[in-house]
């Protein structure tokens, strides 16, 4: 499956804000850094402005960050039912390739993905609703990802699909040896997760 977009030196989907071209439920945000002799200041999230531009209410109830070494792949993580987390993610240090995957059975974009290269020098964010999977790979020696979540994390509700599933064909670089957690390494493929009834349904 995968995306019809093609990778270039910069990113998979083009610069800009708004709904992503392949999966419109993914919302892109171009952050605007303010730089001076001291360095850089970035407003990573503004609730009212985001709601006005996207039409989406994002109430932040939990904030997380992860630190990953080069080649670490986190994901594909998702929530299938009530209690899941919508995520607003951005890279605040280093560089990553960030991926959102439509895992909703019945969706017209089921099994397809959006991907964007994120780095601290060109800050941007992606809003990933419940029902979509999220993953990234660290491209720099160390990368820090910030996650704003609309609900607290409930252990046991988060599920995972294998990030190296050839059916998904996610755009990981062949130059990197991927490092996965034990849970992600043991995750089912997309087809296995669907056959076992683990995937979310697309709202009709």
77 is catalytic: yes
Please give the Cα distance from 9 to 41 (Å, whole number).
Answer: 26
The one catalytic residue among 127, 134, 147, 162: 147
The one catalytic residue among 77, 127, 134, 162: 77
Complete edge-to-edge strand list for the sheet that includes strand 132-138: 113-119, 95-102, 132-138, 73-79, 158-160
202 is catalytic: no
For every residue of the chain, DSSP letters joined together read ---S----SS-SSPS--EE-SS-TTSEEEE---EEETTEEE-----HHHHHHHHS------EEEEEEEETTBEEEEEEE-STT---EEEEEEESEEEEEEEE--BT-TTTT-EEEEEEETTB-EEEEE-TTEEEEEEE-SSEEEEEEEESS---TTTEEE--TT-TTT-----TTS--B--HHHHTPPPHHHHHHTT-SPBPP-
Instruction: Tell me which residues are annotated as active site.
Output: 77, 147
């Amino acid at each position: 499956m995968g995306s019809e977009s093609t990778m270039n030196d910069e990113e998979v989907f083009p610069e800009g804000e708004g709904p992503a071209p392949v999966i419109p439920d993914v919302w892109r945000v171009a952050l605007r850094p303010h730089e001076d002799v001291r360095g850089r200041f970035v407003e990573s999230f503004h609730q009212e402005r985001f709601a006005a531009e996207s039409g989406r209410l994002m109430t932040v109830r939990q904030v997380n960050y992860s630190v990953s070494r080069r080649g670490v792949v986190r994901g594909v993580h998702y929530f299938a039912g009530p209690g899941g987390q919508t995520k607003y993610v951005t890279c605040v240090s280093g560089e990553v390739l960030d991926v959102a995957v439509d895992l909703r059975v019945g969706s017209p974009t089921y099994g397809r993905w959006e991907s964007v290269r994120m780095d601290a020098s060109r800050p941007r964010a992606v809003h990933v609703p419940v029902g979509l999977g999220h993953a990234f790979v660290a491209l720099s020696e160390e990368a820090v990802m910030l996650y704003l979540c609309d609900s607290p994390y409930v252990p046991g509700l988060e599920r995972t699909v294998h990030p190296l599933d050839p059916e998904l064909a996610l755009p990981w670089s062949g130059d990197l040896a991927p490092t996965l957690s034990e849970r992600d390494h043991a995750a089912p493929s997309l087809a296995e997760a669907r056959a076992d009834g683990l995937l979310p349904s697309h709202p009709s």
